[in-house]
Amino acid sequence: MAEGGEGEDEIQFLRTVGILYALCLTHGISPSKCVCSAHALFASNLGLLSSETSCMRQNTGSKQQVGSNMASRGTAPHFWSDEETCLHRSGENRWMAQSDDSVSSWSCDQVARWLRHEGFGEYVEQMCTQHRLDGLSLLALTEADLRCPPLSITILGDIKRLTVALHRLQNQNQSQLEELGLWLSDPRPAGLSPCRSRSEWTFDRADKSRYNRSDCNGTEPRLRINHGSGCVPGASLCQTHSNGKCHQPLAGRLDPEVWKTIISSLYVFLVFGFTSFVMVIVHERVPDMRTYPPLPDIFLDSVPRIPWAFAMAEACGLILCYMFLLILLLHKHRSILFRRLCSLMGTVFLLRCCTMFATSLSVPGQHLKCASKTYADSWGKIQRALTIWSGFGMTLTGVQTCGDYMFSGHTVVITMLNFFVTEYTPRNWNLIHTISWVLNLFGIFFILAAHEHYSIDVFIAFYITTRLFLYYHTLANTRAYQHSRRARIWFPMFSFFECNVNGPVPNQYHWPFNKPAFMKTLIG
């Protein structure tokens, strides 16, 4: 029955064209207008076209598009006559009407027909056959997908024209995009704006259970256009290039991933315990001061010892700790901040365990009453380690250690806190940054002035801490090697903790409690 109905429609259409064509010739009207009028009259009953101008407008645009496409490929363009174009569009529109109205339910064959209809038939094999592009994936396609592997289209004109066609299709199917949890916040195609823009797919929480295609924890992206503050002529998609490969940035909602933060907390907790036990072992091996006197040191030999300096160094560390805790309380992404602090601090102190266990330096000053200390059994060592652990290795809590010189743990803590305070506060908070750096530098000076460490201990601690902080954040902010095999081998913790953090963490603040109300209003 369906085939019979379709044949009757075609017969009726041909009859209408013939009658109107004869009438037009009789009255001296252009044959092309007659054919388009017949098409519009017949198609209006099917809801395909609304007026004669629609056909003519599409005819003109089709000529320009096909001509430009073929010219860019070095092929001489061939234009259909107006009658051929209208009849061709009649067939295409009837196919569109007969196909499912939902683009998201298109098959690969229907997507292939759409590509041919838009003048991109040469990409049908690659996109529809090799990569099985259906209607749902067509709606989610972006310019970055066209540029990047596995498609890697290299003809710029085709990329831009296909991007425009995709945006036109997406704009015509806004309701479907919303049903799927995908929508365009800005209908303007990427690359057409004079300002820098970034097209990204971000996640709609309501559809998390329906789509699970993320690299790490199954977050479904949705497309959103983000505009930077500065205008860069000709700039389009913000992309990251590494080793000649293009990676599409996926910056969206930052998932706190509290369970990962708990794992990082356990990691640093265990590392501190292990460090305390290694410090007990090192104390047993501390060199005899009568046999191994203090090593020559330019700073220690030039600056007299200040007895209260080490307590002041620990006071600088406490002030920095309170500053960071306040920032952590007010920061919107506090879970990510604390996870990064724990992972970095644990890694540096794990390295410190290796260095101070491998080489035992002589005591840096005669004022230190350090001697090799032995314990009756393992339980005595564990008790001593627990004392150091519970007192955080600080003299302010009554903990005295010897032999743990290479490298300075106090310098590590002070420097790491300083870098976290300056990194996760706005750049225009100059007073906070100045105070943080002053505390860092004075803390290092007081450690040396107390003659508790050699200069090389402090220098190595500062260098390792700053380099590791900068390398970690550079990799995290640029997504370089984030999902590569090399990163999983050399930076396994980084790959695990940062796989869902896409780009720099914005410095946004809010009051986490409901009371007092004025703090909620003041901070947000």
- Which listed residue (82, 134, 145, 457) is catalytic? 457
Catalytic annotation present for 404: no
Is 207 annotated as catalytic? no
Instruction: Give the list of residues 6+ apart from residue 265 with CB closer than 8 angstroms, or none.
Output: 338, 342
Query: Using CA atoms, how far apart are residues 217 and 258, in angstroms rounded to an integer?
Result: 13
Q: What is the length of the chain?
A: 524
Are 406 and 309 a contacting pair, CB within 8 Å?
A: no
Rounded CA Rg of the chain: 35
> How is residue 31 written in tokens?
């044959």
Strand partners, 241: 246
Task: Please pick, among 453, 473, 483, 510, the residue that the annotation labels catalytic.
Answer: 453
For the residues of 15-69, what is the DSSP string, one character each? HHHHHHHHHHHHHT--HHHHHHHHHHHHHHHHTS-S-HHHHHHHHHHHHHHHHHH
Are 330 and 520 spatial neighbours (Cβ–Cβ below 8 Å)? no
- 334-365 exposure pattern, b = at least 16 Cβ within 10 A, e = fewer: bbbbbbbbbbbbbbbbbebbebbbeebbbbbb
Ramachandran region of residue 270, left (φ > 0), alpha (ψ -120 to 50) or beta?
A: alpha
Active-site residue among 333, 410, 451, 473?
410
| CA–CA gap between residue 63 and residue 66 (Å, rounded) | 5
Q: Is residue 410 flagged as an active site residue?
A: yes
The residues assigned a catalytic role are 410, 453, 457
